[in-house]
Structure 1
Amino acid sequence: MQTITTNTLTDTMYYKEIPVFTYKINYPSFTTTCSDASESINHHYAQLAQKTEEYGRKVLYAQAAADAEYPQSPRPFPIYTLDVVYQITYNAGCIVSLYMDTYTYAGGAHGQTIRTSDTWDFNTGKSLRLTDFYPLTPVSLYQLQKSMEGQVAERLKANPGIYFEDYRALLQDTFNVNSFYIQPGMMVIYYQQYDIAPYSTGLPEFYIPVSF
């Protein structure tokens, strides 16, 4: 098992004494008894956080400052936001799985959340793939599709309209082999906002029992 510490990069940036952009980037740091692999994994997340911070400070701040300068921009100015949070979903033996949600608000009615995920083997320092938990054959992909279709159908019974009408085709067209994480006894397949459902549905998740 690994021990996790949360690191944070945060700041609020001003333009002409007006707060226009704020960010808070949380990212994990690991210690492990499995091997020395935690050093490279920690470096990966530290670099990722620094790149995200650089994007916020250079790109999002510049956009926010330009919008704040615009004479017809609303007052008080709607502060642009960049928030990154992570969730550990599995931590047992030498395996850790997690996802990270990056929320960006840059004006308009609402922001956008993009999810990424990783599953690590701390014995080797390697990132595990979907095929390490679930075989991707024509038969298994068909079974996976049918399982997800069934879960959508059940959810629509309780909440009509929470998926697009052509969700069956979209489940295939927007399927991303990297969009997964694991929980005890379970593999979770997720889709991004708007892939198969309206914004209000969030990021749809599908639960597939697996043994590992």
Structure 2
Amino acid sequence: MQTITQRVLSDTVYSKGTAVLTYTIRYPYFTTTCSEAAALSINAFYSTAARKTEEYCRTVLASQASVQAEYAKKDNYPFFGYEFISAYTVTWNSGCMTSLYTDQYTYTGGAHGSTIRTSDTWDFSSGRYLTLADFYPHNPAYREGIFRILDQQVKARETDSPSTYFDDYPALIRSSFKPESFFVTPKGIVIYFQQYDIAPYSTGIPEFLIPFKKSR
């Protein structure tokens, strides 16, 4: 079993006295009764990723924000500071397995920001990163089964709320599908897509639950 504590990197970046960027990066730290070596390896993974994300914020994103602030000052129009938030959600934590997803929200002006999701499922007895195929050990054609379930769910959602998804969603589901885009919950496996992959922005990040009884 894993005990999870939250660690945070957060700051405000200034340029010529103006706050151009605020960022908050939340990431997990694990202790486990399964394998201490596995926890050390997984903790190093998240710590390194958080530091790299912070470096991106303080260099690339802050530089872009500073330039935009200068343009705004020169042209005498309001500047809205950039914002970056990375937050994780644990969806399964039982035995020696933990599954979670991380949403990274970036606002760089305009009507709204954008969110990118990543996810990880770990075996804390070995430190191994679990893949979607690991949940279908005797079904090499598992993707086609998933596609059929997703088609059915989108069709039902479109019946209830028309135009929630793009018209060519069957083709988009297949072309945009990424096997790493999943996480595990007590009810089953959730497949997700990024914003704009298969639906307009208003739909958000589409999620599809595949109950365990249908996941193999």
TM range (shorter): over 0.9
Q: Structure 1-normalised TM-score?
A: 0.95
> Aligned equivalents of 1:180 and 1:65: distance in 2?
36
> Aligned equivalents of 1:156 and 1:79: distance in 2?
37
Q: Which residue identity is paired with 1:26? A: R
Count how many residue pairs are aligned between Structure 1 and Structure 2: 210
Are 1:149 and 2:143 matched, yes or no?
no
Please report how far the alpha carbon of residue 7 of structure 1 lies from its aligned counterpart in structure 2 after TM superposition: 0.3
Please report how far the alpha carbon of residue 159 of structure 1 lies from its aligned counterpart in structure 2 after TM superposition: 1.4
Q: Which has the higher helix share?
A: 2
Give a deviation string over 1:32-81, Cα, whole Å, max 9, x none. 01011111100100000000000000001000001101122632x21101
Q: Describe the shift of the 1:124–1:73 C-alpha distance in structure 2 as closer, same or farther (beyond 3 A).
A: farther
Are 1:45 and 2:46 matched, yes or no?
yes
Which of these residues, 92, 101, 104, is aligned with residue 102 of structure 1? 104
Select between 61-70 and 142-151 the one with higher mean Cα deviation: 142-151
Aligned match of 1:62: 63
> Aligned equivalents of 1:161 and 1:110: distance in 2?
20
Aligned match of 1:192: 194
Question: For the Cα contact (< 8 Å) 1:67–1:73, is it kept in 2?
Answer: no
Please report how far the alpha carbon of residue 108 of structure 1 lies from its aligned counterpart in structure 2 after TM superposition: 2.1
- Any unmatched runs of 5+ in structure 1? none
> Aligned equivalents of 1:132 and 1:185: distance in 2?
17
> Aligned equivalents of 1:164 and 1:72: distance in 2?
38
CA RMSD of aligned residues (A): 1.4
Give a deviation string over 1:152-196, Cα, whole Å, max 9, x none. 111112211110000010000000011001011401100000000
Q: Secondary structure at the match of 2:163?
A: coil
Q: Secondary structure at the match of 2:28?
A: strand
Q: Which residue identity is paired with 2:33? A: T
> Aligned equivalents of 1:143 and 1:93: distance in 2?
28
Q: Which residue identity is paired with 1:141? A: R
Q: Which residue identity is paired with 1:54? A: E
Aligned match of 2:114: 112
Q: Which residue identity is paired with 2:75? A: Q
> Aligned equivalents of 2:147 and 2:99: distance in 1?
23
Q: Describe the shift of the 1:18–1:114 C-alpha distance in structure 2 as closer, same or farther (beyond 3 A).
A: same
Q: Which residue identity is paired with 1:69? A: E
Q: Secondary structure at the match of 1:65?
A: helix
Aligned match of 1:127: 129
Q: Secondary structure at the match of 2:75?
A: coil
Aligned match of 1:72: 75
Which of these residues, 196, 200, 203, is aligned with residue 201 of structure 1? 203
- Any unmatched runs of 5+ in structure 2? none
Question: For the Cα contact (< 8 Å) 1:95–1:121, is it kept in 2?
Answer: yes
Aligned match of 1:30: 30
> Aligned equivalents of 1:61 and 1:67: distance in 2?
10
> Aligned equivalents of 2:112 and 2:187: distance in 1?
35
